[in-house]
Amino acid sequence: MDDYILRAENLQVYYPIHTGVFKNSYVKAVDYVSFEVPRGKVFGIVGESGCGKSTLGRAVCRLEPITGGKVYLDGEDITTLSGDKLRAIRKKIQMVFQDPYASLNPRMTVFQIIEEPLRVHHLTHSKEESEQRVLALMRQVGLDDYQLNRYPHEFSGGQRQRIGIARALAVEPEVIVADEPVSALDVSIQAQVLNLLAKLQKELNLTLIFISHDLSVVEHISDQVGVMYLGNFVEAADKDELYKNPLHPYTQALLSAIPIPDPDKRNKLIPLEGTIPSAVNPPSGCKFHTRCPKCMECCRTIAPKRYQVSDNHYVYCHLYDDKN
């Protein structure tokens, strides 16, 4: 159990709908998801909008109400913790958010933003100590000392993201969940922040859960990658294995759609029918069957189990059931 710092078992996050035609039904944002993240590794979660990747990330941080299933952090069941006990686990798991404009309080200085977690968790005991600690954190993420008393609006997007990272690092967490941390940034700035995250992850031996819709970015930073579709993982494997040998038809289609930055290589697109169905009334059986180019009879009715195809390579697809 100790090999895995974070583990989810049959995790469900459902949002009830109170009005309209779908009254008394649920948006099944995360629907029976199980996965585990080895200590000190980078686990990438990719998927298109609405697949539940952000909800999953927030749920394992206990920032989203959990409908069912279990989350274990370092072997401890954190699914139902509250009050002081919940606050205590926040020292172990922290989050970096997508929008560096919305996730920093505009009325607080950089010092106040980074110092807040230190204060909340009683990690420093004097103003001087706090200041030293904040300055050290700022240097760690590549900010300068003189920026200590500035406000977020005085910073560019990339610098703001550095502030968000410093805030997450302040409590010396073991796990960081980064939800689309570079999606709002320009290409040249994106590389700076990716390099910073990779460097900190190695230096501090952090476990990083990296959520993104960008398959190239995820490939670059991750050790293992899970692909989500409509509230479930469809495939998960070590990075190289997943990108070289994608097995699930959805993963294959997704990879075929990445525009290659080389004019001599054209995409060999595997076309998908239609668009992502609604998470309120997801298709029966395998949720991907309505768009799957390899759909079989059983896919319409029976939800696929998790099939292990090689060491660490799991796929949720009937094509890989030995009985077929």
Partner 1 sequence: MNEKDDIILKIDNLHTWFHTDSGIVKAVDGVDLTLRKGHTLGIVGESGSGKSVTALSVMGLLMKTKGKIEDGAIYLDGEDIVTFPEDKKRELRGGKISMIFQEPMTSLNPIMKIGDQIVEAIRAHQKVSDREAREQALSMLKLTGVPRPEHMMREYPFELSGGQRQRVMIAMALVCKPEVLIADEPTTALDVTIQAQILELMNQLKKETGTSILFITHDLGVVAQVCDDVDVMYCGHIVEQGTVRDIFKSPRHPYTKGLLDSIPRIGEGRDELYSIPGNVPNPKYMPEGCRFAPRCARCTEACKKEPGFTDFGHGHICRCWNPVPAEGVQESEGTVNG
The residue ranges that bind partner 1 (CB under 8 A) are: 48-49, 156, 158-159, 186-192, 194-195, 198, 213, 215-217, 219-221, 243-244, 253-267, 269, 271-272, 274-276
Q: What is the DSSP code string of 153-207?
A: GGS-HHHHHHHHHHHHHTT--SEEEEESTTTTS-HHHHHHHHHHHHHHHHHTT-E
Shortest distance in whole angstroms from residue 142 CB to partner 1: 10
Both tokens of 273, joined, read 């029918």
CA 14/CA 22 separation, integer angstroms: 14
Shortest distance in whole angstroms from residue 139 CB to partner 1: 17
Q: Which is nearer to partner 1, 49 or 149 (CB)?
A: 49
Q: Which is nearer to partner 1, 27 or 66 (CB)?
A: 27
CA 79/CA 102 separation, integer angstroms: 27
Cα dihedral sign, 59-252-187-51: negative
Shortest distance in whole angstroms from residue 243 CB to partner 1: 6
Q: Which is nearer to partner 1, 156 or 284 (CB)?
A: 156
Shortest distance in whole angstroms from residue 198 CB to partner 1: 7
Shortest distance in whole angstroms from residue 90 CB to partner 1: 31
CA 10/CA 232 separation, integer angstroms: 10
Letter string b/e over residues 274-311, b meaning 16 or more CB atoms within 10 A of that residue's CB: eebeebeebeebbbbbbbbeebeeebeeeebeebeeee
Shortest distance in whole angstroms from residue 275 CB to partner 1: 5
Burial zone of 249 (CB within 10 Å; 0-12 exposed, 13-18 middle, 19+ buried): buried
Q: Which is nearer to partner 1, 276 or 315 (CB)?
A: 276
CA 40/CA 169 separation, integer angstroms: 15
Phi, psi of 313 (to 5 degrees): -110, 115
Shortest distance in whole angstroms from residue 36 CB to partner 1: 25
Q: Are strands 224-229 and 42-46 parallel, antiparallel or unpaired?
A: parallel
Q: Which is nearer to partner 1, 49 or 82 (CB)?
A: 49
Shortest distance in whole angstroms from residue 253 CB to partner 1: 6
Q: Which is nearer to partner 1, 220 or 306 (CB)?
A: 220
Q: Which is nearer to partner 1, 83 or 263 (CB)?
A: 263
Which helix (H) or strand (E) segment holds residue 99: the answer is: none
Q: Which is nearer to partner 1, 124 or 192 (CB)?
A: 192
3-class state of residue 323 by DSSP: coil
